[in-house]
Chains A and B, each alone.
Chain A
Amino acid sequence: MDREHPNLSEPKTVISLRDLRVSYGEREILHGIHFDVKAGETLVILGGSGSGKSTLLRTLVGLEKPSWGQIWINGQDIAAISNKELYEIRKKTGMSFQGGALFGSMTVGENVALPLREHTKLEDSTIEIMLRLKLEQVGLAGFEYHMPSQLSGGMKKRAAVARALAMDPEILFFDEPSAGLDPIIAAGIDHLILELKKAFHMTIIVVTHELASAFLIADRMVLIDKGNIVAIGTTEEMRSSTQPRVRQFLDRIPEPDVEGELDYLQTLTERYRRRA
């Protein structure tokens, strides 16, 4: 396997995936993913349910170990480094989970302040000011004493973004930021991502299956299907793509039905015929 560090030409490449494969037991979920993300870029990872896009995100933040390949983040292969080194990288990244993943036993303010309390030696008063600032950035000023259970779905996601922003990360990961939200709240979250991008020039990776949101926030997109990259390119390139699988996904065409009785029987018995 080529372990050479990928070329870091301008603008700086912050994330590079090289032939990334991930397996759960004997089943391979990702079959050799390969792409780069430049600093300050917003990359949207698109894909249907079960395409492997969530596994890809979990692997990018080190929650799943790849079975093969490399993940270079800021010049370090996170698949090959120690837990301690991984923790150092994680201090410079933030992640907003699909359901928020706020700690139910802590107030919103304590949730946002947690990374600061754990990783910095800042005074309580400074932390207090910083957490108010972060909450204001996501439009939740004044909610620091609320419990997560008192917040709506959209507010929980905003609070989760505030927590992800606490350590002023260089890279921000979003898992399905608009899933389960009504269109207005979802648009608000998209707007928030755009604002963060504009204000802090962060590198942002978003996993989603919401097309409208993807086209609004992305600089580039990756379409993943059954663990392989189908297409990668700018939003314009994706829009004008003629690849059948890309068109099917973007034009929302359902999988073709199985035609005829013979085909149906063949699909049912396929596994056994193959085994034989």
Chain B
Amino acid sequence: MEVVSQIGAGVTDSLAYLGSLAMLGGRAAYYTFIGPFQGKPLRLQSAASQAMEVGVRALPILSLVTFFIGLILALQSAYELSKLGAMTLVAKAVALSMSRELGPLITAIVVIGRSGSAFAAEIGTMKVTEEIDALEVMAISPVHFLVAPKFLAMMVMLPCLTIWANTMGILGGALFGVVQADFTFGRYIQASIESLYLRDILSGLIKSVMFGITITAVGCLEGLSTGGGAEQVGRSTTRAVVISILLVVAVDLVFTGIFFFLGNG
């Protein structure tokens, strides 16, 4: 019996957590899309500096990681394709797997490590030093002031980063194609472009927007629910990373499923 009740409690807790995430996301969406028309201006300056931090500063590491991933994909697919004498399909394999799956996913993982954790640590520290309480007492909503600009920045920057990641992955594949598979650089790129349909890229971009929302919601919720003390900030940061990775993969599965059954897959 105890096992059943424990599982029940676990399920209830998880559902409550998802509910809190949805509520936070909903409130942030209100301040982003509806608030500006009700005299609560969007904090664009703050969103821009967040976009700089989340997006532009992530470019070096993201470029490196996705370039290598593209190269690895080319090597792995060439291993099988060479047996079939179909080395020309390497470009297609890399382009499709990058833009439909790995581009958005790797981008999300890099952003979780850089920004999801930073959101939780920043807001968690503000909670511990009573800065969140100070906002409340000054009649400034912490969601409007802190969370909404992060949502906006992530929703804009994640698709941008994903496009960049796809490009770098394809360039990684091109390195292998040129060196090992008798492609010229131009022909490799052309083969990649020809193998991609708009829906491949779009499905990846839609997923990346959802990942952005998920990562921000988890990071901010973990920060806002930090208890007292520095130790708790560390705990929130770890939880933000672990839960974000889990939920990003879950969201990925759900959306890939939806696209598949819509016949878009």
- Which residues of the partner chain B approach A93 to less than 8 Å between Cβ atoms? 137
A261 contacts the other chain (CB 8 A): no
A39 contacts the other chain (CB 8 A): no
B182 contacts the other chain (CB 8 A): no
Chain B interface bracket (under 10, 10 to 19, 20 to 34, 35 or more): 10 to 19
Interface of chain A, helix or strand or loop or mixed?
mixed
Q: Which of A96-104, A203-211, A215-223, A262-270 lies at the binding interface?
A: A96-104
- Which residues of the partner chain B approach A199 to less than 8 Å between Cβ atoms? none
Instruction: Determine the residue in chain B with the shortest Cβ distance to A95.
Output: B137
With both chains docked as a complex, state the minimum distance between the C-beta of B23 and any C-beta of chain A, in angstroms: 13
- Which residues of the partner chain B approach A102 to less than 8 Å between Cβ atoms? 131
A34 contacts the other chain (CB 8 A): no
Query: B129 contacts A101, CB within 8 Å?
Result: yes
Instruction: Determine the residue in chain B with the shortest Cβ distance to A90.
Output: B139
Query: A101 contacts B139, CB within 8 Å?
Result: no
Query: A114 contacts B138, CB within 8 Å?
Result: yes
- Which residues of the partner chain B approach A90 to less than 8 Å between Cβ atoms? 136-139
How many Cβ-Cβ contacts under 8 Å join chain A to chain B? 48
Query: A103 contacts B139, CB within 8 Å?
Result: no
- Which residues of the partner chain B approach A103 to less than 8 Å between Cβ atoms? 126, 131, 134
- Which residues of the partner chain A approach B131 to less than 8 Å between Cβ atoms? 101-104
B140 contacts the other chain (CB 8 A): yes
B133 contacts the other chain (CB 8 A): yes
- Which residues of the partner chain A approach B140 to less than 8 Å between Cβ atoms? 114-115, 118
Complex Cα spacing A266 to B96, Å: 74
B105-129 to A contact mask, C-beta < 8 Å, 1/0? 0000000000000000000001001
- Which residues of the partner chain B approach A115 to less than 8 Å between Cβ atoms? 138-140
Query: B139 contacts A63, CB within 8 Å?
Result: no
A87 contacts the other chain (CB 8 A): yes
Query: A118 contacts B138, CB within 8 Å?
Result: yes
Answer whether A88 and B139 are a contact pair too, CB < 8 Å, given A97-B130, A101-B131: yes
With both chains docked as a complex, state the minimum distance between the C-beta of A65 and any C-beta of chain B, in angstroms: 12
Instruction: Determine the residue in chain B with the shortest Cβ distance to A166.
Output: B138
A 95-154 contacts with B by CB, 8 A: 95, 97-99, 101-104, 114-115, 118-119
Complex Cα spacing A93 to B129, Å: 20
A187-206 to B contact mask, C-beta < 8 Å, 1/0? 00000000000000000000
Q: Which 10 residue pairs of A and B lie closest in terms of their CB atoms, listed nearest first?
A: A101-B134, A90-B139, A87-B139, A101-B130, A95-B137, A97-B130, A115-B138, A91-B139, A101-B131, A118-B140
Give B residues with C-beta under 8 Å from A: 126, 129-131, 133-134, 136-141
